Amino acid sequence: MHILVTNDDGVSSPGLRALAGAMEKLGTVFVVAPEREQGAVGHSVTLHKPLRISPIDTNVYAVNGTPSDCVLLAVTKLMRRPPALVISGINRGVNLGDDVTYSGTVSAAMEGTLLGIPSIAVSQAGTRNFKFKTAAYFAWRIAKIVLNRGLPDETLLNVNIPDRMRISITGVRLTSLSRRRYEDPVVEKVDPRGRKYYWIAGTRVSWERHADSDYEAVRQGLVSITPIHVDLTHYPVLDQLRSWEELLTRGVLTRRRPSTRLNTVVSRTKDSSKRTLSRKQASVLKKSHRMIRRRPT
Ligand code: MN
């Protein structure tokens, strides 16, 4: 069984090594990770420069791209058959709530999910002196279950581990994403030449607290597992806004009626000598014709 391990902290990160070590108990591990730190790159892929894969060690490769690039290259180019699991981490620091959309760690797992492979993101709470032992242990336990039972379609697991020794972990909780509030998310300063610059570096002030949130679980010393669906469609709202279809279509249809009739007139004026329209009329018609064509379908 082949397991793909990646991250966003870079190929030399100790969290990545700890995770790869834990996965070795479950199968043959391929590590394909960014050659350097790629925190907060989200789900971006590299489209405007060539990507290179550099072998570092046996089954360990560095890529000069994003976490999503790594997963895509590993699955489509490096590994002879798709891995049974994509696991991303162990990230230095939590990936909770709204932050998952910025997270390279979570996005790597999302890329795996989009490729049809069961995928997990693992992050470790803390700010410095990370010890990844507890996280590696739970990553191994969760991965074992995922390999045995699989995951629902289009769903990845976002796992966050409290900064605690294994024996002080109070349990494991299935959670939902929390909402956080930053106070002054953008810091304004002045550079030595007197020009303003900005730094996105808000102090975390508050999280909306609800009992089943990922934030609350980690705060209480529980391992948090949030199932994340890659289909971001808000289905209840889809139904609520259905009436907009008619509202927005109405204007388009009233424009369309004259233009379809007159299009034939415009095209006829092009090749026939029989000019039935003034230049001004024709240009108005052409314009309305363009508007119809641009209408998204
Ligand atoms: Mn990171």
Q: Which CATH number do you get for residue 64?
A: 3.40.1210.10
Which residues in the chain land under pLDDT 70? 202-205, 253-297
* Ligand 1 centroid to residue 66 C-alpha, Å: 11
In this structure, the answer to whether residues 215 and 288 fall within a common structural domain is no
In this structure, the answer to whether residues 147 and 267 fall within a common structural domain is no
Phi/psi of residue 4, each to 5°?
-100, 125
Identify the domain boundary among 199, 232, 265: 232
Say what the pLDDT of residue 152 is. 97
Say what the pLDDT of residue 74 is. 98
Spatial distance between the Cα atoms of 215 and 208, rounded to a whole number of angstroms: 9
* Ligand 1 centroid to residue 265 C-alpha, Å: 62
Neighbours of 267 (CB within 10 A): 11
In this structure, the answer to whether residues 80 and 180 fall within a common structural domain is yes
Q: Are residues 15 and 132 in contact, defined by beta-carbon separation less than 8 angstroms? A: yes
In this structure, the answer to whether residues 179 and 242 fall within a common structural domain is no
Q: Are residues 163 and 124 in contact, defined by beta-carbon separation less than 8 angstroms? A: yes
* Ligand 1 centroid to residue 93 C-alpha, Å: 7
* Ligand 1 centroid to residue 91 C-alpha, Å: 5
Identify the domain boundary among 232, 255, 281: 232
In this structure, the answer to whether residues 197 and 241 fall within a common structural domain is no
Quote the longest CA-to-CA distance of the chain: 91
* Ligand 1 centroid to residue 13 C-alpha, Å: 9
* Ligand 1 centroid to residue 96 C-alpha, Å: 12
Phi/psi of residue 132, each to 5°?
-95, 5
* Ligand 1 centroid to residue 105 C-alpha, Å: 6
In this structure, the answer to whether residues 223 and 250 fall within a common structural domain is no
Distances (CA, A) of 224 to 39, 137, 220: 21, 14, 10
* Ligand 1 centroid to residue 138 C-alpha, Å: 18
Write down the residue that tokens 């730094």 correspond to.
199
* Ligand 1 centroid to residue 106 C-alpha, Å: 10
Domain total in the chain:
2
In this structure, the answer to whether residues 228 and 242 fall within a common structural domain is no
In this structure, the answer to whether residues 11 and 64 fall within a common structural domain is yes
* Ligand 1 centroid to residue 258 C-alpha, Å: 57
* Ligand 1 centroid to residue 188 C-alpha, Å: 24
In this structure, the answer to whether residues 65 and 157 fall within a common structural domain is yes
Identify the domain boundary among 232, 250, 275: 232
In this structure, the answer to whether residues 97 and 223 fall within a common structural domain is yes
In this structure, the answer to whether residues 94 and 164 fall within a common structural domain is yes
In this structure, the answer to whether residues 14 and 40 fall within a common structural domain is yes
* Ligand 1 centroid to residue 253 C-alpha, Å: 50
The range of the structural domain enclosing residue 22 comes to: 2-232
Say what the pLDDT of residue 155 is. 98
